Amino acid sequence: MGLLANLVLVFVAGFVTALATGLGALPFFFIEDVSDRLQVVLWGLASGIMVSASVFGLVMEGLAEADGQFDVWLMVGGLLAGVVLVVVANRLISDHHFDPKEYAEADFQKLVLILGVLTVHSFPEGVAVGVSFAELNLAGGLTLGPFVVPILALFMTIAISIHNIPEGVAISIPLQSMGVSPPRMVWWAVFSSLPQPIGAVLAFAFVRIARDFLPAGFGFAAGAMVFLVLTEFIPEALDRGAGLPGRGYRELVSGLVVGIVVMVPLAFLGG
């Protein structure tokens, strides 16, 4: 398959993860509120999934690709670079935090700024998808039409799609309080993740052109995702669970365990 066809497939995979964010708005078609307990469980589930995907998917694949000590250090450097990206991005947007309820009211200038915020927030997730497709049509995998898709790519696409659902819930809650209709909630939830397919395409193009840096690419995606879990997902879960018995730790741990137990076997299948 040509490069263009490969890029289209990777873009579609990234777009699927963005569409999954819209699933977080679906409960509001039937109910008026999502309980704090369920939100904590969902954030815990997302955290467990992303840690599993990062450690047992990306890191293990990076070590498998490493050919000597230099490549191992290259992956370690990628891990640190992923952490640095999240730290720098958070500092850049710390003074420009936008509540999702502002999306529908934004003028063009604010919309551009919002898109910038969303890009630095969602980019690591898109990078993880793009890097996971590095072996597309180059090695063993599942045959899907004219493509041979790496198991890791399917695993990462599914993992990040599931992870995006609680984000969609979090985005929909303030919109629901404003009286925004459920169909528009779905749209704004998807909108918040639109940078992901772009990040996926850029990351895929880079690792295909610079094959020697593939271990660093795996490390970069893993470092960014694990750091996001530690600095955003888990704190968000604990914030939602502050009013629950035990401050929501039981629900958070339950979600984490389920996420890890479900995804680890798939990760080893991909290996």
The H or E element spanning position 159 is helix 151-177
Alpha-carbon span 138 to 141, nearest angstrom: 9
Residue 116, pLDDT > 70, answer: no
pLDDT level of residue 69 (50, 70, 90 thresholds): confident
Mean pLDDT of the chain: 82
Residue 120, pLDDT > 70, answer: no
Bridge-partner residues for 149, per DSSP? Answer: 142
Contacts 24+ apart (CB under 8 A), 100-103: 100/171, 100/172, 100/174, 100/175, 100/188, 100/192, 101/174, 101/175, 101/177, 101/178, 101/180, 103/188, 103/191, 103/192
pLDDT (mean) for 171-183: 79
pLDDT single digits (tens) 218-248: 898 889 888 888 888 888 889 888 888 888 8
Residue 17, pLDDT > 90, answer: yes
Alpha-carbon span 193 to 235, nearest angstrom: 20
The H or E element spanning position 38 is helix 36-52
What is the extent of the structural domain holding 157?
Answer: 3-270
pLDDT value at residue 200: 93
Instruction: Find, among 184, 193, 201, the residue nearest to 165 by Cα.
Output: 193
Residue 142, pLDDT > 70, answer: yes
Beta-carbon-side half-sphere exposure of residue 134 (alpha carbons within 13 Å): 24
pLDDT single digits (tens) 104-114: 555 555 555 55
Instruction: Find, among 53, 47, 4, the residue nearest to 151 by Cα.
Output: 53
pTM: 0.79
Number of domains the chain contains = 1
pLDDT (mean) for 120-129: 80
pLDDT value at residue 191: 86
Pick 4 or 96 by higher pLDDT: 4
SS3 148: strand
pLDDT value at residue 35: 85
What length is written for the chain? 271
pLDDT value at residue 146: 86
pLDDT value at residue 236: 83
SS3 149: strand
pLDDT value at residue 101: 55
